[in-house]
Amino acid sequence: MVVEDEPSISDVCRRVLTKEGFEVDIAIDGRVAQDMVAQKQYDLYLIDIRTPVMNGMKLYEWLKENHPQMTQRVIFTTGDMLGSDIGSFLEATGRPFLPKPFSPDGLKAIVKEALRSIESQGV
């Protein structure tokens, strides 16, 4: 699942990851993602920190409360590394993150690494 409100970025994610053989669903914000999680279990969650309605931090907290095992499947994206609240949040979660703008190769690499980590941990 890709949680991203910018169509150009979600399109790149879908195109790159589909070419790698992944099935990609897009949620435009955390609220939409919540509804999708209720319907389907995902192997990985690529979550933009800053989305309208419900941001990535709130979505992560919701996952932590309602689907704690899924938090090990989260990768964050953000274009705002200067905000101290975001840096502190990312550090506290211990989850990988991909700074924007990112390259297709960077996206593929972090997704593959996260899936290897999930497999090795048996999550």
| Residue pLDDT, tens place only, 33-43 | 999 999 999 99
| Residue pLDDT, tens place only, 63-97 | 999 999 999 999 999 987 666 789 899 999 999 99
Phi, psi torsion values for 102, nearest 5 degrees: -120, 160
CA distance 78 to 54: 15
Instruction: Using DSSP bridges, classify how beta strands 26-27 and 2-3 pair: parallel, antiparallel or unpaired.
Output: parallel
Whether the pTM exceeds 0.85: the reply is: yes
Biggest distance spanned by C-alpha atoms of the chain: 36
Conformational region of residue 55, where left means phi above 0, alpha means psi within -120 to 50, and beta covers everything else: beta
Q: What is the mean pLDDT of the chain?
A: 95
**What CATH number should be reported for the domain holding residue 7?**
3.40.50.2300
CA distance 79 to 10: 14
Number of domains in the chain: 1
CB of 115 closer than 8 Å to CB of 44: yes
Beta strands in the chain (DSSP E): 2-3, 26-27, 45-48, 74-78, 97-99
Domain range for 33: 2-121
